[in-house]
């Protein structure tokens, strides 16, 4: 069984959680939304990636960890050309040894204006 982690990030109207825990493992999802309002932030891929990673960071603090505890990240982009900008933001927050990562280009994401979505797994010590 798992438990929901209360992150303080504005909840989605969809039947989802942004962070859950089962034992020492944490599963997180983050998009480029203002954590207070839930509104998608406008801007290019670097701006949106920064906000999404910022939301991962908020959720990890709520779980009792940091971004350094993340072992896997799945990145969903709507445009292959956004990979370079996403990487510029990504390396400002994740340092070697980097988490395992898969980057996938998808046709679209659910929220209007959303360019990136992150799915992450962390292990707390």
Q: What is the pLDDT of residue 13?
A: 85
- What is the chain's pLDDT, residue by residue, as a tens digit (125 residues)? 999 999 999 998 889 999 999 999 999 999 999 999 999 999 999 999 999 999 999 999 999 999 999 999 999 999 999 999 999 999 999 999 999 999 999 999 999 999 999 999 999 99
Residue 58: give the domain boundaries. 3-123
- What are the helix (H) ranges across the chain? 45-63, 83-90
| Beta strand segments in 7-115, E | 19-22, 25-31, 70-77, 100-105
Q: What is the pLDDT of residue 14?
A: 87
Nearest to 86 by CA among 76, 98, 95, 97: 76
CATH for 13? 3.30.1330.40
Indicate the pTM of the whole model: 0.96
Domain count, the chain: 1
Q: What is the pLDDT of residue 12?
A: 86
């Amino acid at each position: 069984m798992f438990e929901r982690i209360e992150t303080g990030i504005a909840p989605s109207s969809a039947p989802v959680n942004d962070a859950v825990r089962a034992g020492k493992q944490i599963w997180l999802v983050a998009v480029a939304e203002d954590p207070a309002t839930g509104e998608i932030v406008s801007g290019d891929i670097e701006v949106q990636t920064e906000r999404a990673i910022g939301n991962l960071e908020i959720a990890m603090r709520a779980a009792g960890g940091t971004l350094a505890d993340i072992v896997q990240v799945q990145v969903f982009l709507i445009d292959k050309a956004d990979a370079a900008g996403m990487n510029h933001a990504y390396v400002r927050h994740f340092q070697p040894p980097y988490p395992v990562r898969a980057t996938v280009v998808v046709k679209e994401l659910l929220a209007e204006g959303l360019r990136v979505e992150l799915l992450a797994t962390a292990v707390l010590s």
